[in-house]
Amino acid sequence: MTVGRTPPPPLLSVDQAARRLGVSRRTVQAWVSGSKLAVIRLSPRCLRIDPADLAAFVEARRQGGLTG
């Protein structure tokens, strides 16, 4: 590890992202299926969400840019 560099925040599971947003797991999965929320697919059934991607998703909706 390089001195002085902060490691990136840990990736979120679908459940963790849903809890952060106060929505159901199913809602997050629908956003992923609809290509509205970016994910990292570790395996066919293991998805992770970068907290920065989740923040960008929320910000886009806060500004009225996207719906869904």
pLDDT classification of 34: cutoffs 50, 70, 90: very high
Q: Is residue 25 part of a domain?
A: yes
pLDDT tens-digit readout, 43-65: 999 999 999 999 999 999 988 76
Q: Is residue 9 part of a domain?
A: no
* pTM, 2 dp: 0.79
Q: Is residue 37 part of a domain?
A: yes
pLDDT classification of 26: cutoffs 50, 70, 90: very high
Helix (H), strand (E) at residue 10: none
Q: Is residue 39 part of a domain?
A: yes
- Residue 1 CA to chain centroid, in angstroms? 25
Residue 52 domain boundaries = 14-62
- pLDDT score of 8: 79
Written as one string, the DSSP assignment of 31-61 is HHHTTSS--EEEETTEEEB-HHHHHHHHHHH
What domain count does the chain have? 1
Q: Is residue 67 part of a domain?
A: no
Q: Is residue 68 part of a domain?
A: no
